[in-house]
């Protein structure tokens, strides 16, 4: 077959960046090697304002620096005598009260970068701010531990850098049925794992054929396992809600996937922050609350850990457009049933001790969170994956 014709006519070929680079049939992997603990990563893209998410409602500096942007004390969902939730996070209040939520404050990294793209790359790769990596921290986890064809799934249209390894990529799909239908492309029927075609000896086209063979196996397994599960929960009717519903369907069908990744965008609130963040935090909180209820009803919440992060926080001082500009450190949410440190893991940021740019000073390197999750939850060699040792925290 002519290479150009093949690439042009095969709709699946145009979607191959969705699938793992090197995939082996699931039946070749013993499920006992994979375990049942699952990690769900949620990315709040754009730089969520942590100070208006977890609010120091008795701090005068907070109200002085944000005269039009602060959340009024009477509207704050009070968690203790000094700190409270943004009112849109009401659905998370039960999680907090029941000990299912740990909030880690002042999370960042040395020499912070305030570019969305660069800071997100740093968070997704787990690299130093002056180093560039082509592989993500979950991707490298897959390189060493991803024995199944779908050991990690991003419930989205394409893969984030975090999910790309040096030899192995995760699977990306919003709809397992659509991915399965795509794998039944007419050109798929003409190739098989035992095919001895000259094309398999060509470097580029051979790789393409092999990837398509592997993709077919993966798509069929994920679809046939997940289609047996139907959620009884009514998820919010938005993209994020649908992503969480699909994630819950995967988890509750017990497919052998260790890591799930999804995101909610729109948090770059340089202007009109109050309304935008109010809407986005409500989408996040309502989606998460339904997601956890779904997992609980299927007895899978106990084996699920949820990590929520954003690439940076915002400046303490409001800007002239009723918004905030790019900042540095932020809060990270850890949600699960087996937390050792419920509630606040550490103190709120010190608003009277900012850096020279008027930003919050970071206290906890985000990679200590990754190292803890890798070591204590995924039972992986964090030093090998992160390329250096980091102190472990004790939230799990």
Q: What is the pLDDT of residues 126-146, one digit of tens each?
A: 999 999 999 999 999 999 998
Query: And the tokens for 195?
Result: 């095919």
Report yes or no on whether pTM surpasses 0.95. no
On the question of pLDDT at 216 being above 90, the answer is no
Q: Which run of H or E residues covers position 105?
A: strand 101-108
Select from 309, 236, 316 the least CA-distant residue to 267: 309
On the CB side of 367, CA atoms within 13 Å amount to 22
What is the band of 345 on the pLDDT scale with cuts at 50, 70, 90? very high
What is the band of 184 on the pLDDT scale with cuts at 50, 70, 90? low
Q: Residue 17: its pLDDT value, please?
A: 43
d(CA 343, CA 83): 11
d(CA 308, CA 187): 40
Cα-Cα-Cα-Cα torsion 222, 223, 226, 232, nearest 10 degrees, comes to 150
Secondary structure percentages of the chain, helix, strand, coil, to 5: 40, 15, 45
- Residue written as token pair 């609350």: 289
Per the prediction, the chain carries an average pLDDT of: 86
Q: Lowest-pLDDT range, 21-25, 179-183, 249-253?
A: 21-25
Residues 6+ apart with CB under 8 A from 236: 283, 286, 287, 290
Q: Residue 221: its pLDDT value, please?
A: 73
d(CA 271, CA 273): 5
Q: Lowest-pLDDT range, 127-136, 149-158, 362-371, 380-389?
A: 149-158
d(CA 261, CA 31): 21
Average pLDDT on 348-371 reads 96
On the question of pLDDT at 263 being above 60, the answer is yes
| CA 315-320-326 angle, 5° bins | 25
Long-range contacts (CB closer than 8 Å, 24 or more residues apart) made by 130-134: 134/164, 134/166
Q: Residue 7: its pLDDT value, please?
A: 41
In the chain, % of residues over pLDDT 70: 80
Sheet holding 54-55, edge to edge: 54-55, 84-85, 77-78
Query: And the tokens for 377?
Result: 């939850």
């Amino acid at each position: 077959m002519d290479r150009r014709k093949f690439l042009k006519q095969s709709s699946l070929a145009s979607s191959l960046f969705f699938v793992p680079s090197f995939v082996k049939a699931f039946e070749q992997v013993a499920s006992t090697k994979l375990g049942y603990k699952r990690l769900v990563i949620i990315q709040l893209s754009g730089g969520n304002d942590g100070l208006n998410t977890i609010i120091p409602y008795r701090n005068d500096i907070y109200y002085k620096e944000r005269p039009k942007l602060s959340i009024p004390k009477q509207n704050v969902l009070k968690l203790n005598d000094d700190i409270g939730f943004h009112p849109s996070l009401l659905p998370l209040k039960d999680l907090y009260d029941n000990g299912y939520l740990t909030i880690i404050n002042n999370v960042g990294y040395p020499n912070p970068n305030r570019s969305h793209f660069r800071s997100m790359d740093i968070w997704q790769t787990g690299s130093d701010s002056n180093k560039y990596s082509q592989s993500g921290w979950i991707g490298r986890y897959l390189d060493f531990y991803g024995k199944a064809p779908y050991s990690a799934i991003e419930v989205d249209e394409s893969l984030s850098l975090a999910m790309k390894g040096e030899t192995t990529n995760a699977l990306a799909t919003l709809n397992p049925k659509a991915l399965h239908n795509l794998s039944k492309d007419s050109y798929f029927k003409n190739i098989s794992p035992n095919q001895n075609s000259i094309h398999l000896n060509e470097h580029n086209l051979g790789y393409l054929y092999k990837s398509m063979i592997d993709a077919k196996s993966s798509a069929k397994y994920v679809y046939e396992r997940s289609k047996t599960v139907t959620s009884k929960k009514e998820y919010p009717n938005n993209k994020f809600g649908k992503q969480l519903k699909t994630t819950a369907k995967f988890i509750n069908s017990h497919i052998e996937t260790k890591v799930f990744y999804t995101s909610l965008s729109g948090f770059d609130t340089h202007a009109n922050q109050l309304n935008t963040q109010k809407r986005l935090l409500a989408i996040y909180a309502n989606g998460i609350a339904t997601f956890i209820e779904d997992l609980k009803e299927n007895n899978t919440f106990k084996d699920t850990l949820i990590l929520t992060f954003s690439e940076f926080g915002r400046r303490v001082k409001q800007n002239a457009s009723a918004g905030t500009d790019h900042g540095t450190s932020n809060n990270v949410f850890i949600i699960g049933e087996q937390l050792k440190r419920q509630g606040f893991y550490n103190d709120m940021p010190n608003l009277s001790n900012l850096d020279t740019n008027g930003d919050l000073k970071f206290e906890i390197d985000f990679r200590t969170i990754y190292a803890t999750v890798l070591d204590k939850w995924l039972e992986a060699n964090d030093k090998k994956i992160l390329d250096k040792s980091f102190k472990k925290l004790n939230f799990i």
